[in-house]
Amino acid sequence: MSLASRRHLATLIVAATLATALPALAGTLPVAVDGQALPSLAPMLAKVSPAVVNISSTSHRRVEVNPFFNDPFYRQFFGLPAVPPSRVQTDESLGSGVIVNAHDGYILTNNHVIAGADDIKVTLTDGKSYTAKVIGADTQTDLAVIQIKAPNLTALPLADSAKLRVGDFVVAVGDPFGLGQSATSGIVSGLQRQDLRRSGVQNYIQTDASINPGNSGGALVNLDGELVGINSMIYSPSGASAGLGFAIPSDLAAEVMKQLIAHGKVERGTLGVDVQNLNPRVAAALGIKATSGALVTNVLPDSPAAKAGLKPGDLVTRVNGKTVTDAQDLRNAQGLATLGSTMVLGVDRGGQQLTINAKLTAVSDQAEGAALDARLAGATFDDVPSSGNGVEGVTLSKVVPGSRAARNGLASGDVLVGVNNVATPDLAQLRRVFALHPRVLLLSLVRDGQLLQLQIGG
């Protein structure tokens, strides 16, 4: 074969090779390599995506115009009205949600996505938007259920999150930064993560699938496209994903959702105890040989714990056969237990091992001021959040005109955020503060977006 013929043949071979490889060179992957199809999450995501929605909420709150106007001297000097001037500020929030019931239009999301919202809009993957109403919310687990009326919805099936293992592959689907729906993949990095918030029921799934602002309330799914968790929070020095994302397990979410749909709230029981972690210094001081457990520091009068015989100084080491390593373990056990159920407590009392049975009773979401302190007679305290502006406190749902509470300066709509410099984010903490029978009361209140302090003598 001549040199020219060999060159011509080589050119034809190169051309044929390029033609065969053209899809790969154009940025696409072949459908198979050595006869084996390449793995892809696309088929699974095609089924999951329609069930994940964008949630935008709008809330309004009144804020002060100028902090100087809070000073009575300035108001009097400038002839300003007795009530400091304020203006209405509009806050907007973006998040995600998961359709869990297509027929009734129920959507599971985070409480912090819709808390305090005056208007909630849900946008589907096809671009259609609907106004949603809140069915119920639970601050303890940071979960909420909202509802839309829309045809042909797609719902995600719930998996058994108790079967998750560290190392299982998961995918987070949501609407980060409001850019539109997107998916990120990773693995389960840890299970039963706790102590990530100051209070509440905590049993998080940790994942390195990227979760960013706007992903809150979105879906964490397994490779079968089943919901294993509701993306809730991240740990990050910058505010963006650092590989430490946390999701609420679907098992916990399912139980909360049932109660929210049935009652609009979660009915929980309580033992009526205050507990703290056991550390070596406390253990040595009390002569406790154990190295872990929940140390009882206070037992509320007439509580299930008091009736069962639990005492301050007792160390709870087991609940219903499960080891209690710290105070959060016991709080979680209470928060996850069914109202009216009996908790079997393993207790170490001065080296003596006891078994104590305590039946959980309902936690009232209201308290009368007179029952807390005579100086608050006429006020009704409510354990329902007043707004979504980040204020954690107990709402004064009613103050009887002319009552002692009214004469002491309290008003309906006030949010009591602290007593004697102790935060009171809920009724349980408020009751603990007043159980000490303080002689002088310094009440920290939020009224119309402004922080006030009232001092009430004995």
Q: Which residues are part of the catalytic machinery?
A: 112, 142, 216
**Per-residue b/e over 342-356, b at no fewer than 16 CB within 10 Å?**
ebebbbbbeeeeeeb
CA distances from 300 to 128, 371, 424, 456 (A): 52, 14, 17, 25
**Rounded to an integer, what distance in angstroms lies between the CA atom of residue 138 and that of residue 67?**
34
Q: Among 148, 260, 305, 161, which residue's Cα sits nearest to residue 219?
A: 161
Q: Counting beta carbons within 10 angstroms of the beta carbon of residue 313, is it exposed (0 to 12), middle (13 to 18) or buried (19 or more)? A: middle
Neighbours of 222 (CB within 10 A): 20
As separate numbers, helices (DSSP H) first and strands (DSSP E) second, the chain gives 11, 30
Q: Among 279, 315, 282, 324, which residue's Cα sits nearest to residue 296?
A: 315
**Do the beta carbons of residue 221 and residue 227 sit within 8 Å?**
yes
Phi and psi at residue 22, to the nearest 5°: -55, -45
**Rounded to an integer, what distance in angstroms lies between the CA atom of residue 262 and that of residue 258?**
6
Identify the three-state secondary structure at position 124. coil
